Structure 1
Amino acid sequence: MITHWSREHAAEWLRRPGAGDDKYLRGVLGVRTGSVTYPGAAVLGVSAAWRTGVGLLRYVPPLEHAPSPHGLPSPAAAVLAVHPETVFGASASRPCDAWLLGSGTDPAERSPAEHAALRQLRRGSAPLVIDAGALDLAVSDANGSSETAACTSTAPVILTPHSGEFERLWRAAGLGELPHDWAARVDAGIPDSHAHLARARAAARLATQLDATVLLKGAVTVCAAPDGQILRAGPATPWLATAGTGDVLAGILGALVTAHAEEVQQTPATLAALGATAALLHDTAARIASGDATAHGAGRPITALDVAAAIPEAFATLS
């Protein structure tokens, strides 16, 4: 059964601070995103997380990265320039409640030290939002490599692939060729079309195979948990089809998972609800930024940073 995620559903997961909260009680998010090639991905994810209401954000720069061949600033410098409230580096005395990994990174360029650090997080208990260049971590766990055999992964995980990344994950996970109906044309205006149902079934199968919640991005976003739960959000405004908006979604999700980290640790399937809520908040922010109050693409062009800037208003609208 597929559940359509509504505003009423989302409102239950948008946590407002109480009089007794401090920045630590509101949640500490650790972020390992961006690279010398894509420092902007770190900025977008961090901006989105702050604007979704995380209490404290620790940005941990990539380990042993080379200088940019294009003269770009390091991801840490780019983040600091936009968000001076960010704290840099991990803390042994006060660990992060959740982590966001991978946006704007390339596994082929990952240093051995960075790879070891990411593997260590997989062996921890803090929930992980795994995006883009870190998605390979989930596949290596599922395939039981010699590396993973000696270090069992225990962290609750939600993966955020777009269609191309999903196809690569599917094949790398040993599931063979994708179902024949996977490539059917998707009509965003018909959420119950055959193509949408095929995507939902495929997401559920991959979630079971990898023992991780899968958020399959698209005009209609599907969130599938390993326990068989399938949630659907959308269709989203077409103005979201622009570079960097996936980094914004990852930041939103990282903040939401941080706010509910204890619940996620107790019930990992909670990640599906948080993923669907993130997708709805993301779409609402894009509609506010673009002026698109319909599902038909009215409004004006926007950038990913415009979407991030509209998150506070979207949060107020949904909650």
Structure 2
Amino acid sequence: MTERWNPDRAAARLRRPCAADDKYRRGVLGVRTGSARYPGAAVLGVCAAWRTGVGLLRYAPPIEERASEPGLPPPAAAVLAARPETVFGEPGGRPCDAWLIGSGTDPAERPFAEREALLRLLRGPSPAVIDAGALDLVREARSGGGPTAPAILTPHAGEFERLWRDADLDALPGGWAPRPPRAGSEPPPTEAGARRDAALRLAERLAATVLLKGSVTVVATPRGRDFAWGPATPWLASAGTGDVLGGILGALVAARAEEVRADPELLGPLGITAALLHDLAARIASGDEEANGAGRPITALDVAEAIPAAISRL
């Protein structure tokens, strides 16, 4: 039975800081996102994670062979200009509590050294939020028989279909649509059921939680729990908002990393909480409080900047 999420349940997943906290106790998030082609993806994810309340954020630029595009800064320079409180470089003696990887990267342009670095993270102890250009490594990381990090994948419909094929699953469930429903609308019951069933099957096959993005976001865990939130405000249907969602989720996971390592199924509630918080921030930024399409156009950075107000609202 799908668990429909709500603000009260989401609020219970947010970690309120206390007097005994320091920056490390509030969660240390490592971010390995962005590229010479897409430096903005790194900026959006980092900004969203900071605005969600992570205690410390370490940005480790992906290894690249491509030089930055003419007129564009390298991802690290773009992140420094946007969020100077960010720490840079690989972690030293103290590992990160969680990692966000893949946003704004292209596996077709990934050098061998970067592939190996990502696989080390996926086989390490820290929970990982895996987006976009790192999704293709999940099955390989989990096929060696060794330890693997608790992981939550954040594909859109097209990425989900590629993951499905790579996992050697049979035909997608009847009712599956190649594109999610129009932003701001509920999918038909047959399509909603197909998205739920497909997410559950992929989560079981990959032994990882799956967050299937769309107007209605579906989250499925390997042990068969599934959650839903939406329909989200249609103003969220714009470039870069997925990078913001990744940053929100990375911060939530870093704050609860010890609990997630003990029980990776907790990535389900954290994933759907991130989707709700993402939608609420977009509604606040756009003025679309009732999620009915009223309000005004927004950008992904507007959503990131509204996250503190959304957390306060919850």
Q: Shorter-normalised TM-score: what interval?
A: over 0.9
Residue 85 (str. 1) matches residue 85 (str. 2) = yes
Q: Tell me, in whole angstroms, the C-alpha distance in 2 between the residues paired with 1:193 and 1:180.
A: 12
Residue 104 (str. 1) matches residue 110 (str. 2) = no
2:181 maps to: 186
Shift of 1:92: 2.2
Stretches of structure 1 that go unaligned for 5 or more consecutive residues are: none
Question: 1:186·1:196 contact (CA, 8 Å) conserved in 2?
Answer: no
C-alpha distance after superposition, 1:43-98 (max 9, x if no partner): 00000000000000000011243212333110000000000000001222111000
2:198 maps to: 202
Aligned length: 312
Q: Which runs of 4+ in 1 moved over 6 A?
A: none
Shift of 1:183: 1.6
Q: Tell me, in whole angstroms, the C-alpha distance in 1 between the residues paired with 2:298 and 2:197.
A: 32
1:280 maps to: 276
Residue 158 (str. 1) matches residue 114 (str. 2) = no
What is the aligned-residue identity percentage?
66
TM-score (norm 1): 0.95
Shift of 1:225: 0.1
Q: CA RMSD in A?
A: 1.4
Q: Tell me, in whole angstroms, the C-alpha distance in 1 between the residues paired with 2:217 and 2:274.
A: 10
* 1:119-158 alignment runs, 5 A limit: 119-141=119-141, 144=143, 149=144, 152-158=146-152
2:167 maps to: 173
Question: 1:127·1:156 contact (CA, 8 Å) conserved in 2?
Answer: yes
Paired AA for residue 13 in structure 2 = W
Stretches of structure 2 that go unaligned for 5 or more consecutive residues are: none
3-state SS of the aligned residue for 1:181? coil
3-state SS of the aligned residue for 1:179? coil
Paired AA for residue 205 in structure 2 = Q
* 1:1-319 alignment runs, 5 A limit: 1-141=1-141, 144=143, 149=144, 152-183=146-177, 186=181, 189-190=185-186, 193-318=189-314
Q: Tell me, in whole angstroms, the C-alpha distance in 1 between the residues paired with 2:12 and 2:297.
A: 31
C-alpha distance after superposition, 1:256-284 (max 9, x if no partner): 00000011000000000000000000000
Q: Tell me, in whole angstroms, the C-alpha distance in 2 between the residues paired with 1:162 and 1:229.
A: 20
Shift of 1:190: 3.8
TM-score (norm 2): 0.96
3-state SS of the aligned residue for 1:178? coil
Question: 2:49·2:248 contact (CA, 8 Å) conserved in 1?
Answer: yes
